[in-house]
Chains A and B, each alone.
Chain A
């Protein structure tokens, strides 16, 4: 391999021949991974490719079956995360593991408080914490509660905590998934600064833009195997995607015709919501969905998208408005009512509101029809046929119905949820952020499936933060802002910039 400027530093982490297996799954198969000082190294791959397993091997969460981990030339065996931390490997997880009920300063210095006469010297704690934070360009009151700060600040606090631990290697696992653009910039400034100071940083993200913006080097994994290591400047995006999914990505092109499809809106709509709202949650909104139509809901996080569909589904109770299903009034006071009227709702919070983690994949898929049927068990043959039908149709991997659902990757969990709902043969499927946090290949699969189902007559409400997806799939888009519906538009007449402009300016008074 040719040496480049940023490899002037010697490798700090050398992982060789790492193999880790779980019951029935070979999660990592003889994978090598090298990390050098002063580089931002991005680990890329689809869900289930083995990225998180590799990181967990490095951070001591998993023991390796075979292979070696060297840190600055000395062989390491980590028996737990504390071993790895002591060796200088710090991790900032997707879900930040700090104590939100403690102050910022306490969090930064936790476990390393300076002492005076056997007692903690609080003045010094806060002084040192402030120094560390300022080193990252943040000046906040270290005595304020961590919970009073945004996720972005909490993330930076977690990073400065890693600095206190004198981390040589910093692992950032999806650090930007809940940050807005400005916050991402702030984080990147910190990352660049750390890199300049010689830190080795592993950056895992599903956002390709961000990877190309910040990373120097990329290691690609697929199905637990190493595909290769590349310099970012030598690897154009389409090649990266091809390497990640192992096939060409023109599937998405085929979908775009969905948005063009003409919808017959002469009959009564499947769902007609008039003035549905709830005080303090959502201003009364109208929404119609016709047979076979995909209605997109666009808007920023917190704009009321999720709130609206939760009211339609009866997950929360509306205190105003009427809902009609195919022309007859429907009371949606609980999810049961909605389900009985043929509505299915897949929540944006897969882990808390979707998957029943300890049950098997098969049990999770059957749960929807079983709940509908009550206590009489769905016959075993029927269960088996439903499970195998949807596992095949949605390409759920690994194809093991008895596997514990919590062990599946995010994208496959999402497919299990969609399978659960499709099995109930709904008339209206509400998908809230079905593609969040899942890889490119699975995203394409899901969108293709949704397009296919709508062509067969299923009506869909599709919510996504990725506006391209909404534009690609939906025939009609409802735009929301500040917990109210601000307009409805025909997706054929808008492109991405137009939609963004609409979300930002429409109905502002300033726009005209």
Chain B
């Protein structure tokens, strides 16, 4: 049997190959001032917000849930961080920036706890429970910024998204987040218990799994990761834009999770798959820029490629293809056996 990451990885490699064939400098990486530059490096940097959101989304989806509020949480997190930095006397102070980030993440955590409360304790359907915050969250963010787009000039804050340590700092953030989430899920029993709850909640409850806490923690983790994504986004545009921050990101995150091979039905999940899924989406975005697809046409281009990728990965297509080969073989084998001895 093929490894379940086969198709996602093959898709990613194919995309990179197509780009490289189209324009060979796509794959080239140059070193300047001890920093690496290139289209591939840009992809690693730009994928940070979607990566963080998608990692959280993977865990939530594994519990049979969905988190539509991630974009709104991003907006709130960015608004909180920038309002604190903007209100301080010294925006360039590292301590101030760190405080702003911590407060923004704590607020994000609270929003996640709220989602988890609605889903795990009150038993509200995840799509509805998180829709509440998806719609209300941006209003909260606007309230925090008093209706304006807060902008700041803060070198330490900008470092978060544009800084470099050989490679972009934002890349290290998502790698660290992926490592922390991955190790927490797989080194502890959280991963397998999450899968058990996602596959069969009632059987898990009767087996003694504390499913409530597991579901709750998934929404909390998702919100904190979205909070970090919100900070990276705000740092990149040096502003808190309550309307644009993380717009439609929940949909791209769901797409990344599915491309990575995790079923929306919950249960078995693959964080590595999600990482690849995000890289596919980000590479595709870059491809459109790189190939100079006009912006008016890019959604269509994007949609066509996604449809192709999803169809190629479809297990049903694989099964149909396999059955076709099998039955063709069976037909060939059936003919000579017609005169075989009757057994009874």
Contact = CB atoms under 8 A, between A and B. Distances in A.
Given A34-B344, A63-B327, A65-B326, A356 B334 contact: no
B205 interface: yes
Contacts of B209: 367, 371
B333 interface: yes
Interface of A: 1, 16-17, 23, 32, 34, 63-68, 75, 77, 79, 226, 229, 313, 315, 335-336, 339, 345, 347, 352-359, 363, 367-368, 370-378, 420
Contact of B340 (A16, A336, A420): A16
Nearest to A406: B199
A356 B200 contact: yes
Contact of A374 (B189, B200, B343): B189
Interface residues of B, number: 36
Given A352-B202, A368-B207, 11 more contacts: A63-B326, A65-B326, A68-B330, A352-B203, A356-B203, A357-B200, A358-B267, A359-B199, A363-B196, A370-B189, A374-B210
Contacts of A1: 344
B9 interface: no
Contacts, number: 115
A414 B337 CA distance: 40
B199 A357 contact: yes
Contacts of A17: 337, 340
7 contacts: A347-B206, A352-B202, A352-B203, A359-B199, A370-B189, A371-B207, A371-B209
Interface of B is mostly: helix
A66 B192 CA distance: 38
Interface string B310-340: 0000000000000110110111011001101
Given A16-B337, A64-B330, A356 B189 contact: no
B159 to A, nearest CB: 34
Given A335-B206, A359-B196, A79 B330 contact: no
Given A336-B210, A376-B189, A358 B330 contact: no
Contacts of A345: 206
B268 A66 contact: no
B330 A63 contact: yes
B188 A375 contact: yes
Interface in B164-202: 187-190, 192-193, 195-196, 199-200, 202
A78 to B, nearest CB: 8
Contacts of A75: 331, 334, 338
B189 A68 contact: no
Cβ-closest 5 pairs across A and B: A68-B334, A371-B208, A339-B208, A371-B209, A63-B323
B204 interface: yes
B196 to A, nearest CB: 5
A347 B204 CA distance: 12
A77 B330 contact: yes
A494 to B, nearest CB: 32
Contacts of A359: 192, 195-196, 199
Contacts of A378: 189
Contacts of B267: 358
Interface of A is mostly: mixed
Contacts of A335: 205-208
A16 B202 CA distance: 43
B1 interface: yes
Nearest to B197: A356
Nearest to B214: A375
Interface in B66-110: none
Contact of B331 (A34, A77, A347, A352): A77
Contacts of B192: 359, 363, 367, 370
Contacts of A77: 327, 330-331
Nearest to B187: A377
Contacts of A79: 323-324, 327
Nearest to A310: B206
A376 B323 CA distance: 43
A226 B333 CA distance: 20
Best-buried of B196, B203, B326, B334 by chain A (most CB within 10 Å): B203
B15 to A, nearest CB: 30
A387 to B, nearest CB: 14
Contact of A371 (B210, B324, B343): B210
Given A363-B192, A373-B189, A358 B343 contact: no
Contacts of A373: 189
A79 B331 CA distance: 12
Given A17-B340, A376-B189, A358 B207 contact: no
B165 to A, nearest CB: 33
Nearest to B186: A377
Nearest to B322: A63
Contact of A375 (B189, B207, B324, B343): B189
Contacts of A32: 343-344
Contact of B206 (A63, A229, A353): A353
B195 A66 contact: no
Contacts of B329: 66
A75 B332 CA distance: 12
A370 B191 CA distance: 12
B171 to A, nearest CB: 29
A226 B342 CA distance: 14
Interface string B106-118: 0000000000000
Contacts of B195: 356, 358-359
Nearest to B323: A63
Given A16-B340, A23-B1, A79-B323, A66 B206 contact: no
A226 B344 CA distance: 10
A90 to B, nearest CB: 21
B203 A375 contact: no
Contacts of A64: 326-327, 330
Given A75-B334, A370-B189, A356 B340 contact: no
B208 A372 contact: yes
Interface in B194-232: 195-196, 199-200, 202-210
A314 to B, nearest CB: 10
Contacts of B324: 79
Contacts of A336: 208, 210
Best-buried of A77, A355, A378 by chain B (most CB within 10 Å): A77
A1 B341 CA distance: 13
Interface in B234-269: 267-268
Contacts of B204: 356, 367, 371
Nearest to B325: A63
Contacts of A356: 195-196, 199-200, 203-204, 207
Contacts of B327: 63-64, 77, 79
Nearest to A339: B208
A226 B343 CA distance: 10
A358 B200 CA distance: 9
A409 B268 CA distance: 21
